Amino acid sequence: MKKLNVVSLNLTVAIIDFLYKGRDFQRFWVLEEIARAPYFAFLSVLHLRESLGLRGPVHIYLMEEHFAQTLNETAHLEYMESRGGSAYWVDRFVARHLVLIYYWVNVVYYWVAPRSAYHLSHEIELHAAMTYAEYLTRFPDDEKICEIMNDEIQHYQELAEAIKMIEPEYEQEKDLSSLRRDSIIA
């Protein structure tokens, strides 16, 4: 699955790079519009799992984290809009159709293979950070983009942590420690 993630990401990046050559803020806006969808998809699945009585030991932690990430990505999107990223109809048309597909892909992917779904977003966050880093080599004084790049690095690290947290061994450990804690309280 990891190989498939990397191949599909590289292909998508090559297409976006070709289409958005020389149009930095339109490219950033499209990337931010798409990058938000997985967090919303993760939250949707976690809510549904909770409603079905399938709440795991790190469920609440993940919900809080993904909610914070969606808000942070929305702030990025608004900033790109303030710099003209969504000024053209064609960019809005492409991004809003892509995001609809990408949201549902992530819902299914996270439901059936959560670690692989996290890995895909992990790679996307790495790509986002590298995209902003490349821009900063040309415009090193753009402090806001530097701040956004650091947010993407943080998301990348949080996703790496989330992958570890849902490893079966980790869940077992958590179950055991909460059992021990409960028996101490009792």
Q: Which residues bind Fe ion (CB under 5 A)?
A: 32, 73, 76, 125, 152, 155
Q: Tokens for 41? A: 């998809």
- Which residue lies nearer to Fe ion by CB, 73 or 123? 73
Q: Which of 56, 31, 29 has its CA nearest to residue 42?
A: 56
- Which residue lies nearer to Fe ion by CB, 142 or 171? 142
Q: Which of 162, 56, 172, 45 has its CA nearest to residue 115?
A: 162
- Which residue lies nearer to Fe ion by CB, 46 or 76? 76
Contact yes or no for 42/66 (Cβ under 8 A): yes
- Which residue lies nearer to Fe ion by CB, 157 or 172? 157
Pairs from 5-11 (Cβ < 8 Å, separation ≥ 24): 5/116, 5/119, 5/120, 5/123, 6/123, 8/120, 9/120, 9/123, 9/124, 9/127
In angstroms, give the least distance from the CB of 33 to Fe ion: 10
In angstroms, give the least distance from the CB of 53 to Fe ion: 31
In angstroms, give the least distance from the CB of 163 to Fe ion: 16
In angstroms, give the least distance from the CB of 32 to Fe ion: 5
